[in-house]
Amino acid sequence: MTFLRKSSLVLAILGLGVAIYLFIIKIADNPALCTTAGGGCWTVNTSSYSEIFGIPVSLFGAAGYIAIIGLLILEGRLKKIDNGIFHYGIFGLSLVGVLFSAYLTFIEIVVLKAICPFCVSSAVLMTVIFIFSIARLIKETGKS
C-alpha cells in the first residue's frame, strides 16, 4: 500500500469519526456534547443549514467518507481492475466533498458568523484527501 493511499485511508477513517460525532451531536440535541470556545459548534449544528430535506448534513459527510474508504479498500483487493477507476472515483468524491465543505464554511463565516471546529476539521481532512487524490492521479498518469 502506497503512502498516499494509506494516508488517504487513515484520513477518511478520521473524517468518518468526525461525521459520526457530528451526527450524534445532532440527534442527541445536547449542547454539552458540543462545548467549544465561542459556542460556534452548537450554533452551526442547530442551524437550518445543518440539514438538507430533513437529513443531517453529517450523514452526507459520513456517506462520502464511507464511499472513499470503500474505494480505497477495493483498490487494494481488486488488482485485476484498472486502478485508474478507483483513483478517479476518489478524486470525484473528494472534489464534491471539498466543494460542499467550502460552501458550508462560507455559510458558517458569512451567514451564521460562527465556526464549528469539528466541521472545520472535516473540511481540512477532505481537502487533504482531495490533494492526495490529485497527487495519485498525477503519479498514475505519469506511468503511461
Above 70 in pLDDT, residue 37? no
**What grid cell was written down for 95?**
472534489
Helix (H, G, I), strand (E, B) or coil at 136: helix
Q: 54-103: per-residue pLDDT in tens?
A: 999 999 999 999 999 999 999 878 776 766 789 999 999 999 999 999 99
CA dist 87 and 27 (Å) reads 34
Contacts of residues 48-52 at CB distance under 8 Å and 24 or more positions apart, as own/partner, are 49/104, 49/107, 49/111, 49/112, 50/26
pTM of the model as a whole: 0.91
Helix (H, G, I), strand (E, B) or coil at 19: helix
* Span 42-52, pLDDT tens digits: 999 999 999 99
